[in-house]
């Protein structure tokens, strides 16, 4: 099973956070790479606990936005 996890940067909190409609993983971390690693490690257990197929692939979609104002 393939899952898509969206990763967004929260500028106010200074963390990356995840959300997914397919796999219920809501996590946060200081860096994008550490967030991906955390999700990679816990995804099989989360899938099993929610009676979902074991992840074969997880696609991470990252989005960040910066504002530059005068």
Domains (range + CATH), the chain: 2-63 (3.30.2390.10)
On the CB side of 46, how many CA atoms lie within 13 Å of its CA? 16
pLDDT of residue 64: 72
Q: How many helices (H) and strands (E) are present in the chain, helices listed first?
A: 1, 4
Per-residue confidence band for 67, with pLDDT thresholds at 50, 70 and 90: confident
pLDDT of residue 65: 73
Per-residue confidence band for 70, with pLDDT thresholds at 50, 70 and 90: confident
The DSSP symbol for 32 reads H
Note the pTM of the prediction, 2 decimals. Answer: 0.85
23-62 pLDDT, tens per residue?
999 999 999 999 999 999 999 999 999 999 999 999 999 9
């Amino acid at each position: 099973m393939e899952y898509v996890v969206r990763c967004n940067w929260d500028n106010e909190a200074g963390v990356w956070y995840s959300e997914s409609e397919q796999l219920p993983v809501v996590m946060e971390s200081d860096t994008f790479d550490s967030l991906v690693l955390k999700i990679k490690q816990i995804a099989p257990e989360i899938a099993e606990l929610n009676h979902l197929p074991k992840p074969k692939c997880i696609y991470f979609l990252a989005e960040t936005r910066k504002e530059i104002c005068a």
